[in-house]
Amino acid sequence: MRQRPAIPVFAFYERLLMRLLFAWLVWRATPHVLIVNGIPSPNGITRLFDLHFLLDPHVFRVADLALAAALIFYVLRFVVWLALPVALFVNLAANGIENSQGAIQHAAQIVSLVLLAQTVAHFYGLWRRRQGEERAGLESRAIWWSQQTIVAVYLLAGITKLITTKGLWVFQARWIGVSITKAAYQSFYDRFSQADLERQLAVANFAASHGWLVALIAATGLLLELGAPLALINRTWAALVGCALVCFHLGLDYSMHLTFIYNQWLLVIFLINVPFWIVTGARQITSR
């Protein structure tokens, strides 16, 4: 039987494009201005460190510039041992402060977790290199751990649904119309789009009157979350699960205006991995 390598190997062009896109995503997922009222409800990193100094706009500007420099170095693979911790600290600190206002947001969390995974993977890789591991494995491990992090987020969301509802989530889903209505109005009061509100309320009313059909659709979504680890089997599975999860997000976006845009981008970058399929397809064609 063929033994699978401990870490999948990624080609240079894949690693470069992933670095470039991920750096851009980290930049997008980090607040560049803090519109906050102090740190009234410390959460996560703000419980561990006093980050009040970052509330000074001048200090925060320096942190923002440090993030920009760190991300450029990360893309160029120059002093990565410094670039990754700096980027991680600024990203965690800025998002940590925003999440310490008494409201936890789940939009940027997945990006921070992937950044954390890459940082830990890098230092673990350096340690492994001292034990004699090949240099090439360093970045491939960071990508492999990024994939595992993305999968863990979906699996965790599925497990939490089962724990919270004692396994009855699918049956409760027939009341999803109530949640869609709430999300529709919340979205409306953000942007005042009457057309979006009407479309979402139509979905909510449909859900309220077709409870069991909605439960069936919800069951598919839950299975998708619980089945996310299949993405770690190989590249084909990664692309299939990635595409399915992106479709799942597009459905949520249409019905509830929940875009989870960073999730979608991470799925595209690390699981679907379009450049690999383009190169593989091109090689197949030219070899005929």
Partner 1 sequence: MNLKSLPGGVLAWLRRTRCKWLLVMLLLGLVLRENYPFSHFPMFSSFSRKTYFIHLADAHGTALKTRQFGLSNSTLKKIFDRARRKELRRFADAGEKRVPLAEAAAAQSLLRYLDGLTNARPAAKKLLPGLEVEHVRVRQKNDAILLEKKILAKHQ
Residues 117-156 binding partner 1 (CB under 8 A) are: 117, 121, 144-145, 148-149, 151-153, 155-156
Angle made by CA atoms 230, 231, 234, in degrees to the nearest 5: 100
Residue closest to 27 by CA, chosen among 35, 19, 17, 39: 19
> Site for partner 1 (CB under 8 A): how many residues?
73
Q: How far is the CB of 131 from partner 1 (least distance, A)?
A: 16
Q: How far is the CB of 278 from partner 1 (least distance, A)?
A: 26
Instruction: Decide if residue 232 touches partner 1 (CB under 8 A).
Output: yes
Please report, as residue ranges, which positions from 193 to 212 form the binding site for partner 1 (by CB under 8 A).
Answer: 201, 204-205, 208-209, 211
Instruction: Decide if residue 241 touches partner 1 (CB under 8 A).
Output: no
Binding segment toward partner 1, per CB under 8 A, in 73-81, 159-167, 242-250, 270-278: 159-167
Residue closest to 18 by CA, chosen among 142, 177, 112, 108: 142
Q: How far is the CB of 279 from partner 1 (least distance, A)?
A: 24
Instruction: Decide if residue 220 touches partner 1 (CB under 8 A).
Output: no
d(CA 83, CA 133): 22
Q: How far is the CB of 282 from partner 1 (least distance, A)?
A: 29
Instruction: Decide if residue 102 touches partner 1 (CB under 8 A).
Output: yes
Binding segment toward partner 1, per CB under 8 A, in 13-21, 59-67, 76-84, 100-108: 100-108
How many Cβ atoms sit within 10 Å of the Cβ of residue 4? 9
Residue closest to 263 by CA, chosen among 156, 174, 180: 156
Please report, as residue ranges, which positions from 64 to 93 form the binding site for partner 1 (by CB under 8 A).
Answer: 92
Q: Are 128 and 71 in contact (CB under 8 A)?
A: no
Q: Taking the CA of residue 256 as centre, how many other CA atoms within 13 Å lie in the half-sphere pointing to its CB?
A: 16
d(CA 215, CA 221): 10
Locate 205 and state its tokens.
């009313």
Q: Are 10 and 143 in contact (CB under 8 A)?
A: yes
Locate 107 and state its tokens.
């939009």
Question: Among residues 101 and 275, whose Cβ is nearest to partner 1?
Answer: 101
DSSP state of 131: T
Q: Select the residue interacting with partner 1 from 173, 241, 269, 271 (CB under 8 A).
A: 173
Binding segment toward partner 1, per CB under 8 A, in 19-27, 43-51, 236-244, 268-276: 43-51
Instruction: Decide if residue 30 touches partner 1 (CB under 8 A).
Output: no
Q: Are 209 and 181 in contact (CB under 8 A)?
A: no
Q: How far is the CB of 255 from partner 1 (least distance, A)?
A: 11
Instruction: Decide if residue 103 touches partner 1 (CB under 8 A).
Output: yes
Binding segment toward partner 1, per CB under 8 A, in 61-69, 75-83, 131-139, 176-184: 176-184
Q: How far is the CB of 177 from partner 1 (least distance, A)?
A: 6
Instruction: Decide if residue 269 touches partner 1 (CB under 8 A).
Output: no
d(CA 137, CA 5): 11
For 187-213, give the DSSP string. HHHHH--HHHHHHHHHHHHHHHH-HHH
Q: Select the residue interacting with partner 1 from 186, 234, 259, 280 (CB under 8 A).
A: 186
Q: How far is the CB of 203 from partner 1 (least distance, A)?
A: 11
Q: Are 230 and 237 in contact (CB under 8 A)?
A: yes
